[in-house]
Amino acid sequence: MSDPSTGVSRAWVEVDEGALRRNLRRVRDAAGASALVPMLKANAYGLGMGPVLEMVRRETSSDELWAIGVAAVAEGEELRRLGWEGRVVVFSPAPPGEFDRAARAGLTLALSDLGAVQRWADAARGAGRLLAFHTEIDTGMGRAGFAAADAAEWGPRVARAAADLLEWEGCFTHFHSADEPAPEPTDEQQRLFLRALGELPPGPARRVVHSANSAAAVRRAGFGGDVVRPGIFLYGGSAGPGAVPEAVASLRARIALVREVEPGTTCGYGATYTARRRERWGTLAIGYGDGLPRGLSPAGGEALVRGRRVPMIGRISMDVTVVDLTDLPEAVEAGEVATLIGRDGGETIKVDEVASRVGTIAYEVLTGLGTRLPRVYLPPDGTRNP
């Protein structure tokens, strides 16, 4: 396979800008008139907040890009350090001690209870300026948000607590099953959300309303609201049936060692694998310390070498993984590249395949890729940006 990793000696993540931008384009086309709030939380799902921010900016106009979404105040502060001056919405509840920091950074908070509204009002008073917030409405996710059924009760109280210190800018909910085949749970959440909105007191201007994550934005026409919040779909993870994006991330590692072993030779902690014949093993310079799931090997995990699948053997260690190269038609040499996620020749290992083998989701695999893996950025023109 071609090797864009000149100067990268061990293992790395490749990020395909062209694919990410085409995925974003697909969301934009599906969203119609809805503006975009791309989610860059968790270091842009493990792919690098700064570079991904620039990719998003190159693909969207100022009218299309309404805000950037994150999960933590520290992530919003990082966006400011990166030079982003636009709106930043922090979607997860901020701990009480972070409200003043959020105010200094000019962030917009998602608020889920009256205590948080009061703390945000106190921060606005201290900052001497109006601060914006969105109310999360819980329609079944259960992890945060004002209860949808009680909107007529809490709505006026939120408005009074905000008074002249806060701008109640928007309301949103989060779907728990939009990536599942059955539409009924999402339909019910949307019904509860719209009913709650109808019970809220009118604001000085129309509030921004949003509910669509990646799955709803791509699969459910009409669920967009004023803005949509694409996440995993941008980064190459499936958002459910009919919402399969282009692959964005590839995970590759050098073959550090190739050796011949005799029948009966054992491999890995616990000696869980024993050679049944004379075999050729390759030691890859990557392990669970880099974010490769430790449970992948006993679950039938594979790598691609010279465009063919080879099985992982033994237990994955912190720093290395062993594969069986015996059935490859040509001898492999140390220094060649193995692909753990991505394409090599006519074969592809998708991030969703890796996630499925170990009983998790693409989100966890991507965000778990470790900091000692350099990110290698591949722009649409095919050049390399380390």
Q: Tell me, yes or no, if 273 is annotated catalytic.
A: no
Q: Which H helix or E strand runs over 282?
A: strand 279-284
List for the chain the helix, strand, coil content (%; round to 5): 30, 25, 45
Q: How far apart are the C-alpha atoms of 38 and 235, rounded to whole Å?
A: 11
Burial of 110 (0-12, 13-18, 19+ CB in 10 A): buried
* Catalytic pick among 41, 45, 235, 273: 41
143 known ligand binder: yes
Contacts of 376 (CB under 8 A, 6+ apart): 4, 5, 8, 12, 13, 14, 15, 384, 385, 386
Q: Tell me, yes or no, if 41 is annotated catalytic.
A: yes
* Rounded (10°) angle between helices 184-198 and 151-162: 50
The conformation of residue 94, written as its DSSP 8-state character, comes to: P
Q: How far apart are the C-alpha atoms of 205 and 197, rounded to whole Å?
A: 14
* Catalytic pick among 45, 235, 269, 377: 269
Contacts of 153 (CB under 8 A, 6+ apart): none
Question: Which segments of the chain does DSSP mark as H helices, in order?
Answer: 17-31, 41-45, 49-59, 73-81, 99-104, 114-127, 151-162, 184-198, 214-219, 351-357, 362-367
Structure tokens of 143? 């992890």
Residue 347 contacts residue 357 (beta carbons within 8 Å): no
Residue 228 contacts residue 179 (beta carbons within 8 Å): no
318 known ligand binder: yes
Instruction: Point out the annotated binding site for substrate.
Output: 143, 318
Residue list for the binding site: 143, 318
Residues assigned a catalytic role: 41, 269
